[in-house]
Chain A
Amino acid sequence: GAGVSQSPRYKVAKRGQDVALRCDPISGHVSLFWYQQALGQGPEFLTYFQNEAQLDKSGLPSDRFFAERPEGSVSTLKIQRTQQEDSAVYLCASSLVAGQQNEQFFGPGTRLTVL
């Protein structure tokens, strides 16, 4: 089906390594969100894109986190110099129209483990 896909599904990194997580939203979806979900917790908002514009990055936990969506479709979340506390599932979601007032469609997530 034409849902949201994420890759890789699992990533193991050594502390200090850089990682890049990819999100392919549903074609034509304007809005794209990234979330971080720790074990046993709800997803935590990281950042929001409307087309290629990053309108909100207030949830990024540090300047080691960087996200981009250069052509308004695929997005990449990059984490530099990974730390153990970065271990979590990273979820991507897309929505048909702009804003937060609509149903979001989630990908399966990337489970990041930092050793």
Chain B
Amino acid sequence: SQQGEEDPQALSIQEGENATMNCSYKTSINNLQWYRQNSGRGLVHLILIRSNEREKHSGRLRVTLDTSKKSSSLLITASRAADTASYFCATDTNTGNQFYFGTGTSLTVIP
């Protein structure tokens, strides 16, 4: 079963707006990663945040992590049509070798 759940399941915004998606997970982690998936490029790594970090930036991406609430958020600023994709959070566990993906948020950016 999947470790994480994303919220919302689907999000539709206008180009230029910001998009925020949230992820909740169940067990203790060492790190949390965000991935993007679209039909053209498959699954692509976006950003990794470690359990001792609270916020991380990469270009137009901002990720936060709250280990006390077992939750993370991904903010995409100044969205572009090319950001249209499904976004997944993914976590390891500190008890084994598994790697768990969430259920995903489908983002549509309207030009």
- Chain A interface (Cβ within 8 Å of chain B)? 33, 35, 41-45, 48, 55-56, 58-59, 91, 93, 99-109
When distances are taken between beta carbons in the complex, the residues of chain A under 8 Å from B96 are 56, 58
B92 touches A42 (CB 8 A): no
B98 beta carbon closer than 8 Å to chain A = yes
- Chain B interface (Cβ within 8 Å of chain A)? 2, 4, 30-31, 33, 42-45, 48, 50, 88, 90, 92-93, 96-104
The 6 A-B pairs at the shortest CB distance, nearest first, are namely A100-B92, A56-B97, A42-B101, A106-B43, A103-B45, A48-B97
Q: How far is the CA of A108 from the CA of B42 in the complex (A)?
A: 6
Contact of B97 among A35, A55, A102, A103 (CB under 8 A): A55
Contact of A41 among B42, B44, B103 (CB under 8 A): B103
When distances are taken between beta carbons in the complex, the residues of chain B under 8 Å from A105 are 45
When distances are taken between beta carbons in the complex, the residues of chain A under 8 Å from B88 are 42-43
* 30 pairs from A and B in contact (CB 8 Å cutoff): A35-B101, A41-B2, A41-B103, A42-B88, A42-B102, A43-B101, A44-B2, A45-B98, A45-B99, A48-B97, A48-B99, A55-B97, A56-B96, A58-B98, A59-B98, A91-B42, A91-B43, A93-B43, A99-B92, A101-B50, A101-B92, A102-B48, A103-B45, A103-B48, A104-B33, A104-B99, A105-B45, A106-B43, A106-B44, A109-B42
**Closest beta carbon of chain B to A3's beta carbon, Å:** 9
When distances are taken between beta carbons in the complex, the residues of chain B under 8 Å from A106 are 42-44
Of B44, B93, B99, most A-chain CB atoms within 10 Å = B99
B103 touches A42 (CB 8 A): yes
When distances are taken between beta carbons in the complex, the residues of chain B under 8 Å from A103 are 33, 45, 48
